[in-house]
């Protein structure tokens, strides 16, 4: 008898667990607006009646249409705390915005992001404009004449998925738009994470910076500027270009028996020593070596270039004409190149060889 009661209790517990798991899964899916670019183009057009989308995703978009505060909504999250939509700017014009949202009275609160030019000016478009999700992996704000007024310029960057609105997580901010590749790496996001960038270099508005590897350390011309954190070397024979703000990651020239690798590796601020490398510059799948006076150039044209002492190019990011800003370390030891629209055009995380 006791064993029968225990069996029924176990069965009830299992059923209850399965039900709760299924509810949680559905809620998690509804918490965001996910669009796979492989589905083809989708165009969301604004009108007085609200927003209508051609070729909408099969899963619910949580669209809300028109609200009392004159914001036509493309999507809201499941809890209704945030919305992506067309925000009334002046009579007859709108912004593309993300803003707080009150599901009880369907009213919009303050915006937390607006589409803007590279100089920070919010983009106003006619009220009947559209937001296009292009099968090329890009999104475009298009006016009534068919002219693209704003875009993150993500075409050709391997974007496969658009997502809005995550709960606040380590890699995503609530109310955020994200463009990701097939490996779920974020290529662009509307509200970048607040991270402790330790090595930020404006490549577009500065001349070439050349960092020469030498026995006593690395010398950069023009000199490094804050918040770059140089060091003259380490006990493990790695000449450092820059440390992160917490001193936990490093970018530098890593010594080997045959020369030096350009590497990113863990760093110990207490002992001033380096740990194993978790990224090295590679060409055709092989780690690249330079001699003692090899150089790393941060090009005004928007690329990183590694050369040996004879000035022979042995590795490059191949981003000439596209890179604008370089960030290292983003609290993760990652090196990233952005274009002027803050889309990632190159990342060290995309080019990892395990060794």
Per-residue pLDDT, 164: 85
Domain ends where: 130, 156, 189?
189
Per DSSP, the three-state class of 153 is coil
Rounded distance between C-alpha atoms, residue 23 and residue 30, angstroms: 11
What backbone phi and psi angles, to 5 degrees, belong to 273? -130, 155
Per-residue pLDDT, 238: 64
Other C-beta atoms lying within 10 Å of the C-beta of residue 253: 27
User: Do 39 and 184 reside in the same domain of the chain?
Assistant: yes
User: Do 203 and 306 reside in the same domain of the chain?
Assistant: yes
Domain ends where: 158, 189, 220?
189
CA distances from 36 to 27, 52, 82, 166, 259 (A): 19, 18, 21, 16, 45
Find residue 280's DSSP bridge partners: 263
26 is a domain residue: no
98 is a domain residue: yes
pTM of the model: 0.69
Number of compact structural domains in the chain: 2
Q: Confirm if 212 and 230 have CB atoms less than 8 A apart.
A: no
Residue with tokens 């978790």: 278
| Mean pLDDT of successive 10-residue stretches along the chain, which has 355 residues | 48 38 35 82 90 78 56 78 89 91 82 87 95 95 97 92 74 80 87 67 85 85 62 57 80 88 85 84 90 92 93 93 81 83 86 47
Per-residue pLDDT, 62: 56
User: Do 46 and 116 reside in the same domain of the chain?
Assistant: yes
Per-residue pLDDT, 15: 37
User: Do 316 and 275 reside in the same domain of the chain?
Assistant: yes
Per-residue pLDDT, 194: 57
16 is a domain residue: no
Per-residue pLDDT, 305: 96
Domain ends where: 189, 210, 245?
189
6 is a domain residue: no
Indicate the length of the chain as a whole number.
Answer: 355
Per-residue pLDDT, 271: 78
Q: Please give the residue range of the domain that contains residue 208.
A: 198-351
User: Do 173 and 248 reside in the same domain of the chain?
Assistant: no
């Amino acid at each position: 008898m006791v064993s029968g009661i225990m069996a029924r209790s176990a069965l009830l517990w299992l059923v209850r667990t399965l039900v709760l798991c299924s509810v949680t899964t559905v809620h998690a899916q509804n918490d965001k607006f996910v669009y796979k670019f492989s589905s083809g183009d989708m165009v969301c057009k604004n009108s007085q009646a609200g927003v209508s989308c051609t070729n909408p995703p099969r899963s619910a978009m949580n669209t809300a249409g028109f609200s009392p505060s004159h914001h036509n909504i493309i999507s809201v999250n499941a809890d209704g705390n945030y919305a992506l939509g067309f925000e009334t700017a002046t009579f007859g014009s709108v912004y593309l915005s993300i803003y707080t949202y009150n599901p009880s009275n369907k009213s919009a609160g303050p915006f937390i992001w607006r589409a803007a030019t590279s100089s920070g000016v919010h983009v106003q478009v006619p009220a009947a404009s559209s937001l296009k999700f292009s099968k090329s992996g890009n999104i475009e704000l298009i006016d009534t004449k068919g002219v693209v007024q704003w875009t993150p310029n993500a075409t050709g960057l391997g974007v496969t998925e658009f997502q809005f609105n995550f709960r606040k997580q380590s890699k995503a901010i609530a109310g955020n738009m994200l463009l990701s590749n097939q490996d779920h790496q974020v290529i662009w996001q509307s509200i970048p994470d607040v991270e402790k960038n330790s090595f930020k270099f404006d490549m577009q508005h500065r001349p070439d910076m050349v960092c020469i590897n030498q026995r006593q350390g690395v010398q950069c011309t023009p000199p490094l500027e804050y918040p770059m954190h140089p060091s003259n070397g380490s006990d493990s024979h790695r000449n450092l270009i820059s440390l992160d703000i917490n001193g936990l990651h490093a970018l530098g020239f890593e010594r080997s028996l045959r020369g030096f690798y350009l590497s990113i590796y863990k760093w110990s601020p207490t002992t001033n020593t380096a740990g194993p490398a978790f990224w090295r510059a590679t060409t055709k799948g092989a780690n690249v070596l330079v001699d003692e006076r090899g150089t790393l150039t941060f090009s005004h044209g928007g690329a990183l270039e590694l050369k040996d002492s004879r000035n022979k190019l042995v590795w490059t990011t191949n981003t000439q004409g596209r890179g604008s800003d370089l960030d290292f370390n983003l609290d993760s030891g990652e090196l990233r190149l952005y274009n002027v629209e803050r889309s990632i055009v190159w990342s060290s995380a995309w080019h990892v060889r395990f060794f």
